[in-house]
């Protein structure tokens, strides 16, 4: 521990040695009662200067009339009698002082005192709370998280006015010292799940830098090479709050406008937040549509390839005639034809993603129409293939979670290759392997395919179907780890 | 100790694993074999045949209840000594290998005729068996979850043949009792349809809650019997016993007659969906093979899964010719089934005697 010395200059030199290249570090020297030397140290663009002037410098210069050298603990005396800042503390060492100053705090050093005052004067520039561009909701709150962790915590606290709410802070990354927080509801979350989350976060503490939730997600998930997302990423505080009430933990990190929710089970990624605000039957219909769309993305093109190449007898002769006639003159074999279209679609989609929204949309629509039209006219792709591929593309947009949609989109390529190699058997085996992987995955000790496997009847009420809210507004049993649970 | 030994299953999963281990490819041809002797009363013989799974599951329950829920190998060691426990383990390993190889070979036969005509037998057997090895390598817990989920989704498949109710003819099943002699004489054949239930001996100790475990065995036996009886009854009701005895896969034949406007051959869709059930039964069988092998050789379970793979592959290739397989099974299955039956009853009695003697 680096204790403060009585020599004020020594202390300043120590601070400067911690932040040698900081051109924004301000060292304002004043004389209290025209006698006692004092330094006010802060990082200029992270603090509220007016607040420092008004609540720290002004009282110290104008109001203090006592001889501080005669007072036993001058720092404590000043803090208690003259400083009108809402948050201040006495420190007697310089450990973590860099982190504190970079958090926007202001340090008051007093000559011949081994104590200093650390005041919260932070005014870190941040983006205002806006409506989400990624997670659009038809019904529900519009606000979404920003890069400032304090604002994000406030958004959650404002929605959970409960004495069970717990916020545990921690610092991640030895170099960037990012502020992070674990949020949960005490007594609601399973203690084993909570311990697992804490244990995993503590394990990654010593890494040099962690910049956003994506880093944390990959570092703490059970299956880093798994196809499916094992934690939920959301930028909507109301979604986080809903998850907290279900017995989950949220992880926030400064600089990331997202929250990570753990644990997460497979079916959740197909549930939209507005499902709970809609009529029961319509939300069931929408959920079924999403599951159907995921199956379409995964199976439509491989089965189409099987029909074209191997198992023609599966479809009626009239339909197969239409398909075959549309392929007359197409030089590419069915597999390459479908693969080319799938790759083209992925190129368009990835291209559109990075562009500004209006341009991205235009690229997606115009690119899709133009390339599709041109490819069919040039005789490279058959119209039926175009219909099948574009149906799968539209279907992939129905999956509400982007990470899950990405995983399922990716999986259709190995499925296509399996279909090409082994026909329908390949599709069967591919699908079967996906199920095997799903039922063997865990997310923080919770079976990933719950409540289907292991089956939990009561939790089935909020899966593909949705029961009335009074039947499902409770903690799912699947999120509880019992002794000997399988 | 291998990872699988630490795995636990629920009572419900125990029921579904038992169902998974029995209901497979055999069900597609079961009406054919049972109607050879019992004629239109085949479905009655099929139902009476559930005495076999009921006996096996009850004996397994008695053995473990009497001697504590120890594992299969230790149970035999306690009753028959080290040498005979090894012999019994090898017998069961071979038995299940025969079951799984015949299922895999039968699956190949169905696939090669309907959906994978273009693939070599070795390729089909290799990729399917590797998938099974991969599945089984996750252990019993994974099998429990798989059996549970596949059963619920595949239950719909058992309902497909119900469409025959509208098209069938009541005279096909009349008179309900052809003759008592015929029904009784075909009961042994129905026993063979329930082969696979022996897995009960291997998984019972790993059920978490032992309360009412006896009834879990009964429940699974009754569910299996109902599935088999329903399918046999509907097949006879729709096709008549004469036609049923002439078609090797009568259930598949029925599926072929289902008409759905967008699908010209529903049989292919049925095989596509049925494959999940076949893969599940193979995984259950493969679990037992690897488990016993692991116990005998003290090789970790996961490694055992891969070591036993060529062995099962070899057996399967040998089983692929349909006629040869049928002849082989006709000659071996009765001995296997009766040996298992005698073993189960004897073990249950000895275990009871041991308890009475206070050993």
Q: For residue B243, give both structure tokens.
A: 């036609």
pLDDT score at B5 = 40
Burial of B354 (0-12, 13-18, 19+ CB in 10 A): middle
Q: Which residues of B touch A460 (CB under 8 A)?
A: none
Q: B118 to chain A, minimum CA–CA distance in Å? A: 8
* Residue in this structure with the two tokens 């420190």, named with its chain if needed: A91
Nearest to B131 among A429, A440, A455 (CB): A429
Residue A432: closest C-alpha in chain B: B276
What are the pLDDT digits (tens) for A181-210? Answer: 999 999 889 999 999 999 999 999 889 998
Nearest to A315 among B142, B145, B263 (CB): B263
Among B147, B149, B151, pick the best mutation site for testing chain A contact (most A Cβ within 10 A): B149
Write down the ipTM of this complex: 0.88
Q: B80 to chain A, minimum CA–CA distance in Å? A: 32
Burial of B100 (0-12, 13-18, 19+ CB in 10 A): buried
Q: For residue A275, give both structure tokens.
A: 């499902």
Residues A14, B255: Cα–Cα separation, whole Å? 84
Asked if A440's CB is within 8 angstroms of B149's CB, the reply is: no
Residue A450: closest C-alpha in chain B: B145
Q: A429 to chain B, minimum CA–CA distance in Å? A: 7
Q: Which residues of A touch B115 (CB under 8 A)?
A: 310-311, 423-425
The full set of domain ranges for chain A reads 8-120, 149-264, 275-447
Among B5, B139, B264, pick the best mutation site for testing chain A contact (most A Cβ within 10 A): B264
Nearest to A452 among B127, B134, B149 (CB): B149
Residues B237, B241: Cα–Cα separation, whole Å? 8
Asked if A316's CB is within 8 angstroms of B145's CB, the reply is: no
Strand, coil or helix: A485? coil
Dihedral (CA of B95, B101, B102, B107) sign: positive
pLDDT score at B86 = 92
Q: B254 to chain A, minimum CA–CA distance in Å? A: 16
Q: Which residues of B touch A453 (CB under 8 A)?
A: 145-146, 148-149
Nearest to A423 among B115, B138, B208 (CB): B115
Nearest to A439 among B9, B117, B142 (CB): B142
Q: Which residues of B touch A316 (CB under 8 A)?
A: 261-264
pLDDT score at B359 = 56
Q: A405 to chain B, minimum CA–CA distance in Å? A: 23
Q: A4 to chain B, minimum CA–CA distance in Å? A: 56
Tell me phi and psi for residue B10, to 5 degrees. Answer: -85, 170
Q: Which domains does chain B have, with CATH numbers?
A: 3-350 (1.20.1740.10)
Q: Which residues of B touch A314 (CB under 8 A)?
A: 263-265, 268-269
Among B116, B211, B276, B286, pick the best mutation site for testing chain A contact (most A Cβ within 10 A): B116
Q: How far apart are the first and last CA of chain B?
A: 27
Residue A435: closest C-alpha in chain B: B146
Among B145, B153, B277, B283, pick the best mutation site for testing chain A contact (most A Cβ within 10 A): B145
Residue B208: closest C-alpha in chain A: A484
Residues A1, A175: Cα–Cα separation, whole Å? 19
Q: A461 to chain B, minimum CA–CA distance in Å? A: 16
Residue B273: closest C-alpha in chain A: A428
Asked if B145's CB is within 8 angstroms of A314's CB, the reply is: no
* Residue in this structure with the two tokens 């099948």, named with its chain if needed: A388
Q: Which residues of A touch B208 (CB under 8 A)?
A: 484, 486
Burial of B321 (0-12, 13-18, 19+ CB in 10 A): middle
Buried b (16+ CB within 10 A) or exposed e, A149-188: bbbbbebbeebbeeeebbeeeebbbeebbbbbbbbbbeeb
Residues A307, A243: Cα–Cα separation, whole Å? 43
- Whether the CB-CB separation of B194 and B50 falls below 8 Å is answered with yes
**Would you state the torsion angle of the CA atoms of residues B231, A432, A439, A413, taken in this order, to the nearest 10 degrees?**
-150
Instruction: Return per-residue pLDDT of chain B as tens, 359 residues.
Output: 333 444 788 899 999 999 988 887 777 788 888 888 878 888 898 899 889 999 999 999 999 988 888 888 889 998 888 899 999 999 999 999 999 998 899 888 888 887 888 888 888 889 999 999 999 999 898 999 999 888 888 787 777 777 777 777 888 888 877 778 888 888 888 888 888 899 999 999 999 888 888 899 999 999 999 998 988 898 888 888 888 888 888 888 887 777 777 777 778 888 888 888 889 899 999 999 999 999 999 999 999 999 999 988 888 888 888 888 888 888 898 899 999 999 999 999 999 888 887 65
Q: Which residues of A touch B10 (CB under 8 A)?
A: 454, 486
Regions in chain A scoring below 50 on pLDDT: 484-486
- Whether the CB-CB separation of B276 and B150 falls below 8 Å is answered with yes
Q: Which residues of A touch B142 (CB under 8 A)?
A: 436, 439-440
Asked if A447's CB is within 8 angstroms of B146's CB, the reply is: no
Among candidate residues A423, A420, A448, the one with its CA nearest the CA of residue B275: A423
Residue B128: closest C-alpha in chain A: A429
* Residue in this structure with the two tokens 């301000």, named with its chain if needed: A26
Among candidate residues A429, A427, A431, A450, the one with its CA nearest the CA of residue A439: A450
Residue A454: closest C-alpha in chain B: B145
Residue B139: closest C-alpha in chain A: A440
Asked if A449's CB is within 8 angstroms of B149's CB, the reply is: yes
Q: Would you list which residues of chain B are within 8 Å, Cβ to Cβ, of chain A?
A: 7-10, 12-13, 111, 115-119, 123-124, 127-128, 131, 134-135, 138, 141-142, 144-146, 148-149, 152, 208, 261-265, 268-269, 272, 275-276, 279
Asked if B144's CB is within 8 angstroms of A454's CB, the reply is: yes
Q: A431 to chain B, minimum CA–CA distance in Å? A: 9
Residues A442, A485: Cα–Cα separation, whole Å? 12
Buried b (16+ CB within 10 A) or exposed e, B148-159: bbbbeebeeebe
Q: Would you list which residues of chain A are within 8 Å, Cβ to Cβ, of chain B?
A: 310-311, 313-317, 319, 422-425, 427-429, 432-433, 435-436, 439-440, 447, 449, 452-455, 484, 486
Asked if A486's CB is within 8 angstroms of B115's CB, the reply is: no
pLDDT score at A481 = 67
The residues, any chain, with a CB within 8 Å of residue B15's CB and separated by 6 or more, are B216, B219, B220, B223
Asked if A422's CB is within 8 angstroms of B268's CB, the reply is: no
Nearest to A436 among B127, B146, B272 (CB): B146
Q: A243 to chain B, minimum CA–CA distance in Å? A: 25
Q: Which residues of A touch B128 (CB under 8 A)?
A: 425, 429
């Amino acid at each position: 521990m680096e204790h403060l010395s009585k020599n004020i200059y020594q202390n300043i030199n120590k601070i400067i040695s911690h932040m040698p290249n900081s051109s924004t570090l301000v060292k304002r020297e004043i004389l209290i009662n025209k006698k006692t030397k004092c330094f006010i140290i802060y990082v200029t663009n992270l603090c509220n200067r007016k607040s420092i002037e008004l609540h720290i410098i002004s009282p110290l210069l104008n109001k203090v009339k006592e001889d501080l050298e005669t007072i036993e603990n001058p720092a404590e005396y000043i803090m208690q009698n003259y400083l009108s800042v809402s948050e201040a503390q006495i420190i007697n060492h310089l450990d973590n002082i860099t982190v504190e100053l970079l958090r926007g705090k202001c340090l008051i050093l007093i000559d011949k005192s081994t104590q200093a005052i650390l005041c919260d004067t932070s005014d870190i520039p941040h983006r205002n709370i806006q409506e989400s561009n990624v997670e659009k909701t038809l019904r529900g709150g519009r606000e979404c998280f920003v890069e400032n962790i304090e604002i994000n915590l406030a958004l959650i606290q404002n929605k959970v006015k409960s004495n069970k709410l717990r916020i545990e802070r921690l610092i991640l990354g030895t170099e960037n010292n990012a502020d992070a927080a674990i949020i949960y509801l005490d007594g609601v979350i399973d203690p084993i799940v909570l311990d697992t989350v804490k244990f995993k976060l503590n394990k990654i503490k010593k890494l040099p830098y962690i910049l956003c939730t994506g880093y944390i997600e990959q570092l703490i998930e059970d299956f880093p090479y798994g196809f499916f997302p094992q934690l939920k990423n959301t930028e909507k505080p109301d979604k986080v709050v809903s998850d907290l009430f279900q017995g989950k933990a949220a992880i926030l990190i400064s600089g990331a406008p997202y929250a990570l929710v753990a644990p997460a089970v497979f079916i959740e990624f197909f549930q939209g937040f507005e499902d709970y605000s809609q009529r029961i039957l319509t939300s069931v219909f929408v959920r079924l549509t999403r599951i159907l769309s995921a199956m379409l993305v995964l199976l439509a093109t491989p089965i189409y390839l099987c029909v074209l190449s191997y198992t023609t007898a599966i479809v009626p002769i009239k339909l197969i005639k239409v398909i075959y006639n549309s392929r007359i003159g197409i030089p590419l074999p069915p597999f390459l034809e479908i693969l080319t279209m799938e790759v083209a679609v992925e190129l368009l989609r990835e291209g559109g993603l990075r562009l500004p929204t209006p341009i991205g949309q235009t690229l997606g629509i115009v690119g899709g129409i133009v390339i599709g039209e041109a490819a069919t006219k040039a005789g490279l792709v058959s119209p039926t293939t175009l219909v099948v591929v574009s149906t799968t593309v539209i279907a992939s947009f129905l999956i509400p979670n982007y990470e899950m949609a990405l995983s399922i989109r990716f999986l259709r390529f190995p499925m296509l290759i399996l279909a090409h190699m082994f026909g329908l058997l390949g599709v069967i085996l591919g699908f079967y392997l996906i199920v095997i992987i799903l039922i063997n995955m865990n997310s923080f000790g919770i079976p990933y395919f719950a409540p289907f496997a292991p089956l939990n009847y009561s939790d089935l009420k909020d899966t593909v179907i949705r029961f009335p809210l009074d039947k499902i507004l409770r903690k799912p049993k699947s999120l509880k780890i019992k002794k000997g649970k399988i | 100790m291998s990872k699988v030994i630490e795995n636990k299953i629920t009572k419900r999963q125990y029921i579904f694993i038992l169902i998974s281990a029995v209901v497979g490819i055999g069900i597609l041809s079961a009406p054919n074999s049972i109607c050879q002797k019992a004629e239109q009363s085949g479905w009655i013989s099929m139902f009476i045949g559930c005495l076999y799974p009921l006996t096996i599951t009850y004996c397994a329950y008695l053995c473990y209840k009497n001697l504590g829920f120890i594992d299969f190998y230790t149970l035999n060691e306690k009753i028959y000594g080290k040498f005979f426990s090894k012999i019994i383990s090898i017998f069961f390993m071979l038995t299940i290998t025969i079951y799984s190889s015949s299922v895999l070979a039968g699956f190949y036969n169905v696939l090669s005729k309907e959906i994978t005509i273009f693939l070599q037998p070795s390729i089909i057997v290799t990729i399917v068996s590797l998938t099974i090895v991969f599945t089984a390598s996750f252990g019993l817990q994974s099998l429990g979850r798989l059996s549970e989920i596949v059963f619920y989704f595949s239950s719909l498949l058992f309902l497909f043949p119900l469409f025959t109710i509208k098209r069938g003819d009541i005279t096909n099943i009349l008179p309900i009792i052809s003759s008592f002699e015929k029904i009784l004489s075909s009961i042994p054949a129905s026993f063979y349809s329930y082969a696979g239930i022996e897995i009960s001996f291997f998984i019972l100790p790993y059920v978490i809650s032992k309360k009412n475990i006896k009834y879990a065995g009964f429940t699974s036996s009754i569910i299996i019997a109902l599935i088999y009886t329903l399918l046999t009854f509907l097949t006879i009701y729709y096709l008549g016993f004469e036609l049923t005895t002439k078609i090797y896969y009568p259930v598949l034949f029925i599926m072929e007659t289902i008409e759905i406007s967008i699908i010209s051959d529903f049989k292919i869709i049925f095989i596509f969906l049925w494959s999940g059930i076949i893969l599940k039964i193979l995984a259950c069988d493969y679990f037992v093979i690897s488990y016993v092998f692991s116990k005998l050789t003290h090789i970790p379970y996961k490694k055992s899964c891969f070591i036993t793979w060529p062995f099962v592959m070899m057996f399967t290739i040998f089983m692929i010719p349909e006629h040869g397989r049928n002849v082989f099974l006709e000659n071996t299955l009765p001995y296997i089934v009766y040996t298992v039956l005698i073993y189960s009853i004897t073990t249950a009695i000895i275990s009871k005697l041991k308890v009475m003697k206070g050993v």
